Amino acid sequence: MNRGIYILACFLILFLVRCSKETDEDIPVVITPSSTVLIFPENNSECNEGKVISDTESIVNFRWEASQNTDKYLLNVKLVEDGSVQTITTSSLEADLTLKRGKTYQWHVISKKDGVSITAESPVWSFYNAGIASENNLPLQAELVYPSSGSTVSPCLVVLEWNSGDIDNEVLTYDILLDDSYPPINLIGSTSDNTYSTSIDGRKTYYWQIITVDQSGSKSYSNIFSFSVEPLTGNCSDDSSSNSGNLVKDSEMNDTGFWNYKQLWTESDNDVNHGFVNGEYAFRSAQGVTYSNAIIWQEIQVETDVAYKFDLYLRSNGTSNSWFEVYFGSVPIDGGNADDYTSNGAQIYVKSFGENENCGVNSFEGSIFDIVTDGCPIPSESLFDSSGNLTFPASYLTSEGTIYLGIKAGNYNGNFGSGIFIDDVVLFKN
Return the CATH superfamily for domain 38-129. Immunoglobulins (2.60.40.10)
Q: Is residue 176's pLDDT more than 80?
A: yes
Ramachandran bin of 288, using left for φ above 0, alpha for ψ from -120 to 50, beta for the remaining angles:
left
Q: How confident is the model at residue 410 (pLDDT cuts 50, 70, 90)?
A: confident
Right CATH for 143-229 from 3.40.50.720, 2.60.40.10, 3.40.50.2300, 3.30.70.380: 2.60.40.10
Q: Which residues contact 157 (CB under 8 A, 6 or more apart)?
A: 197, 198, 199, 200, 236, 240
Interval 180-215: pLDDT, tens: 888 888 999 999 999 999 989 888 899 999 999 988
With 0-12 CB in 10 A as exposed, 13-18 as middle and 19+ as buried, what is 329?
A: buried
23 burial class (0-12, 13-18, 19+ CB within 10 angstroms)? Answer: exposed
Domain ranges across the chain: 38-129, 143-229, 260-429
Q: What is the mean pLDDT of residues 207-225?
A: 87
How much is the average pLDDT of 105-120?
A: 91
Average pLDDT over residues 90-115: 92
Give backbone dihedrals phi and psi of 387, rounded to 5 degrees, phi first: -105, 0
- pLDDT band per the 50, 70, 90 thresholds, residue 337: low
Q: In this structure, are residues 44 and 61 in contact, taking their beta carbons and an 8 Å threshold?
A: no
**Mean pLDDT across 51-58:** 88
CA–CA separation, 322 and 340 (whole Å): 15
38-129 and 143-229 agree in CATH topology: yes
Query: To the nearest whole percent, how much of the chain has pLDDT over 90?
Result: 50
Distance of CA 108 to the CA centre of its chain: 25
* pLDDT bracket for residue 26 (50, 70, 90): low
Question: What is the C-alpha to C-alpha distance for residues 231 and 16, in angstroms, rounded to an integer?
Answer: 55
Cβ-based neighbours of 16, under 8 Å, separated by 6 or more = none
Strands 143-146, 120-121: pairing is: unpaired
Query: Would you say 408 and 325 are in contact if contact means Cβ atoms under 8 Å apart?
Result: yes
Q: How far apart are CA 160 and CA 198, in angstroms?
A: 8
How do beta strands 260-263 and 275-277 pair?
unpaired
Query: How far is the C-alpha of 369 from the C-alpha of 106, rounded, in Å?
Result: 37
Q: Computed over its alpha carbons, how large is the radius of gyration of the chain?
A: 30
CATH number belonging to domain 260-429? 2.60.120
Q: What is the pLDDT of residue 12?
A: 54
335/239: higher pLDDT: 335
Q: What is the percent of the chain where pLDDT is above 70? A: 83
Which distant-in-sequence residues (6+ apart) come within 8 Å of 278 by Cβ? Answer: none
Cα(408)–Cα(341) distance, rounded to whole angstroms?
8
Rounded to the nearest integer, the mean pLDDT of the chain is: 85
Q: How confident is the model at residue 2 (pLDDT cuts 50, 70, 90)?
A: low
pLDDT over threshold 50, residue 22: no
pLDDT of the residue at 37: 95
Kindly report the backbone phi and psi dihedral angles of residue 2, in degrees, each rounded to the nearest multiple of 5, phi listed first.
-65, -35
Task: Print the SS3 string covering the chain.
Answer: CHHHHHHHHHHHHHHHHHHHHHHHHHCCCCCCCCCCCEEECCCCEEECCCEECCCCEEEEEEEECCCCCCCEEEEEEEECCCCCEEEEEECCCEEEEEEECCEEEEEEEEEECCCCCCCEECCCEEEEECCCCCCCCCCCCCEEEECCCCEEECCEEEEEEEECCCCCCCCCEEEEEEECCCCCCCEEEEECCCEEEEEECCCCEEEEEEEEECCCCCEEECCCEEEEECCCCCCCCCCCCCCCCCCCCCCCCCCCCCCEEEECCCCCCECCCCEEECCEEEECCCCCCCECCEEEEEEEECCECCCEEEEEEEEECCCEEEEEEEEEECCCCCCCCCCCCCCCCCCEEEECCECCECCCCCCEEEEHHHHHHHCCCCCCCCCCCCCCEECECHHHCCCCCEEEEEEEEEEEEEECCCCEEEEEEEEEEC
| pLDDT single digits (tens) 120-139 | 999 988 888 877 765 556 78
